[in-house]
Amino acid sequence: MTSSSLNPAPADAAERRKAPAIVCYSVDKVPPYDRPFYEAARQGLTEIAATIVPPREARTFEVPAGHFFRIVSIEGPQVGDLNLWNAHDLSERFFSGKTRALHATHVSTGDRLWSTLPNLRPMATITHDTLDWYGWDADGGGVHDVIGTRCDPYTQRLLAGTDYHHCCHSNLTRALAAHQGLSRVSAESHVHDVLNVFMCTGFTRDTHQYFMKASPVRPGDFIEFFAEIDLLGALSACPGGDCSASHSSDAAKCYPLKVEIHRPRAELLSQWRPPERSAYSRSHGL
Ligand SMILES: [Zn+2]
């Protein structure tokens, strides 16, 4: 929205603007984060698999329900673009917009990554975040946003007139195609808005435009998730590196990311069950 208005403000403009701001959803009704359960489950984890995501590339990984996965910074500050699908049904995938509406523009420990309609269930729960100290900075920025979409070659062509083939959108498409045995054209339609792992972003105070700044992530930092359902994940090590200056080019210094899969103690899995898809899709129909 441009700041230069064409229409004069009405006489009661100030009064209209004074309407109270109400949080859109009754988020206090979201099933609470069961911290004792997840904290207990985190004790005694066994790493069972690991994947290195090379710079400017993406890799897939699978996480059985009831297991944990960590995205780890290993060599230098690097942002990751994360997609998640139901491992058995690619039509159920991460719903960035509803996750934003139910939690916030940026997510951390205790927040859930929700799946698309008609499922609307937690796909994953964030159980640890070594960057939770960052909070909100003086620019209004925070870490791990669900407001950006992913860098893509179409926007690059639109804005710069140039072609770049290692945008996160392209990387995620190629990785999913390889994993599923799909053509890249078929795989592309399954790629969706991401969780921007480790990315530091916000909206400018004056014009409310999306901004990025250097990620505070350092080697050893990680964000950890509990897989609520069987997951297929794809992670792109963004060509923007720490996203301090540019993306969609080879200009930025980039580093690999590591994805670790961890299995909890057996007794946890014997008592725990994945969340159901939304009951609405079964009881009412459309
Ligand atoms: Zn990117």
> What is the spatial distance between Cα 158 and Cα 162, in angstroms, rounded to a whole number?
8
Ligand 1 centroid to 245 CA: how many Å?
12
User: Ligand 1 centroid vs 197 CA: distance in angstroms?
Assistant: 10
d(CA 7, CA 50) in angstroms, rounded, equals 58
Separation of 239 CA from ligand 1 center, angstroms?
6
Q: What is the pLDDT of residues 180-223, one digit of tens each?
A: 999 999 999 999 999 999 999 999 999 999 999 999 999 999 99
Please choose, from the candidates 134, 151, 131, the residue with its C-alpha nearest in 3D space to the C-alpha of residue 219.
131
Summarize pLDDT for 55-90 with one digit per residue, the tens: 999 999 999 999 999 999 999 999 999 999 999 999
Q: Are 50 and 257 in contact (CB under 8 A)?
A: no
Q: What tokens does 192 get?
A: 């969706």
Encode pLDDT of 129-161 as tens digits: 999 999 999 999 999 999 999 999 999 999 999
What band does 268 get if pLDDT is binned at 50, 70 and 90?
confident
At 122, is the pLDDT very low, low, confident or very high (cuts 50, 70, 90)? very high
Tokens of 148: 């950006």
- Compute the mean pLDDT over every residue in the chain, rounded to the nearest whole number: 95
**Of residues 215 and 4, which shows the higher confidence score?**
215
244 by DSSP, 3-state: which? coil
Å from CA of 109 to ligand 1 middle:
23
First to last CA, the chain: 35
Q: How many whole angstroms from 33 Cα to the centroid of ligand 1? A: 30
Q: 210 CA distance to ligand 1 centroid (A)?
A: 14
Sign, Cα dihedral of 46, 221, 175, 98: positive
The reply to whether omega before 118 is within 30° of 0 (cis) is yes
d(CA 272, CA 269): 5
Distance (Å) from CA 193 to ligand 1 centroid? 11
